[in-house]
Structure 1
Amino acid sequence: MASSLLRVAFYRVALRRPLHVTAANGIYSYHPPRVGEDPNINMDFHESLITPLPVFPRTIGFEGELKTLKEKEKGDWKSLSAEEQMDLYNMYFSMSMADMCREKDDWKSVLGVISLVVAFSLWLHYFLHTQLLQPYPESCTNPEWAHEVIKKQIQFRANPITGYASMWDYENNCWKK
């Protein structure tokens, strides 16, 4: 629940574009289109689950077929085909509520990147330990060496409170039970 609240707060603060509205008449300011973009698309248009009904429509200017469709919109909607109704909907909105509620597949990309990083790290570890670094010393890998170290600690009575010397019974010459 906390993560969804944080996500909603993040979308409200970070991703919401400010609306350019003039105070005098409430008409949004015109921004010239960027190269390669449709000049009839509103650059300030933003819709999400937080703001499902945007203030301004998606399409600014209507030309050709859209103009005739806009005139048909004022009449009886039963005379419009399903395709024309979808075109009208797409003039005002870019996504349906089902599209907005659909889960994103971003987790697959994140999982792929994490898998690549882990695989590279494991390969680097293997390469370093087989090609560049010296092998581990015998004192780390030989169990007999470890037993000899424990015997010396018992003989020297090293760390008699919590170490091996505290677990050794010196009178019976065996481990305490």
Structure 2
Amino acid sequence: MLPRPLLLYRLTRRPIHSSAILMGGHHIEHWWGPEKAGEREVVGYGTNGEPSYVDRMDYWYPAIRFRKEDEVIAPIRQKEKGNWKNLSAEEKKLLYRYSYRQTLAEFEAPSGYWKVMVSVGATIISLATFYMVFLTLYVYPPIPPTYGNEYKEAQVQRQIVLEKGAFLGPAKYWDYEKNQWKK
């Protein structure tokens, strides 16, 4: 279990502090926090001073490197401290991949996740529609005849004949001498 401040921080900051890896054509979000920094080199302040790796569009420089130093990258790191003209293109790419998880082009590439969201929304709407049709056909009783226009007109005529509601109802607007509605 995470400590309460870190848990609260993760819950409130998750949409901003998330990296996404492409897996099966969909982005799955995760966050490398200080508890997972391990042996990776701290290279900067980061977004808030914590040693964490986060791919973000608004802050490009994470506080720690993406991968920890191993026997493959150690000699290239020593070479990096000298003149960069001595590095080959492959060594520069390897340095980049050990420092960052994605290039900017990979980070901005569309994921197709909107298709999943549209299909989930359409599924929910269709299930709600089918549920309403089921309720209307099999659960709710049929609409009573008192909701029909003929019944309502007959009720108004009955009120006029019986002079019910002569001061408030429909009889108030009926002219009994001319046998028509008042103008």
Instruction: Answer yes or no: same fold by TM over 0.5.
Output: yes
CA distance in 1, matches of 2:87, 2:95: 10
The alignment partner of 1:52 has SS state of coil
* Residue in structure 2 matched with residue 96 of structure 1 by the alignment: 103
Question: Unaligned 5+ residue runs, structure 1?
Answer: 1-9, 21-28, 33-38
- Higher relative contact order, chain-length normalized (CA < 8 Å, sep 6+): 2
RMSD: 4.0
Bigger fraction of residues in strand: 2
* TM-score (structure 1 length as normaliser): 0.59
Q: TM-score, normalised by structure 2?
A: 0.58
Q: 1:133 aligns with which of 111, 130, 140?
A: 140
Listed as ranges, the matches of 1:1-177 within 5 Å are 14-15=13-14, 16=17, 20=34, 44-64=52-72, 66-101=73-108, 105-140=112-147, 142-155=148-161, 156-158=163-165, 164-165=170-171, 168-171=173-176, 172-176=178-182
How far apart, in 1, do the equivalents of 2:180 and 2:60 lie?
A: 77
Distance 1:169 1:52, change over 3 A: same
Q: Relative to structure 1, is the Cα distance of residues 53 and 40 closer, same or farther in structure 2, using a 3 angstrom cutoff?
A: closer
| Preserved CA contact (<8 Å) 1:45 1:57 | yes
In the alignment, structure 2 segments of 5+ residues that lack a partner are: 1-8, 18-30, 43-50
**2: CA distance between counterparts of 1:41 and 1:103?**
31
Across the two proteins, how many residue pairs are aligned to each other? 150
The CA distance in 2 between the partners of 1:111 and 1:164, in whole Å, is 52
CA contact (8 A) 1:40 1:62 kept: no
Q: Distance in 1 between matches of 2:109 and 2:182?
A: 65
Measured in 2, the distance between the counterparts of 1:93 and 1:159 equals 85
Higher mean C-alpha deviation, range 127-136 or range 94-103: 94-103
Q: 1:44 Cα shift? A: 3.0
Contact kept, 8 Å, 1:169 with 1:176, in 2: the verdict is: yes
CA drift of 1:49 comes to 2.5
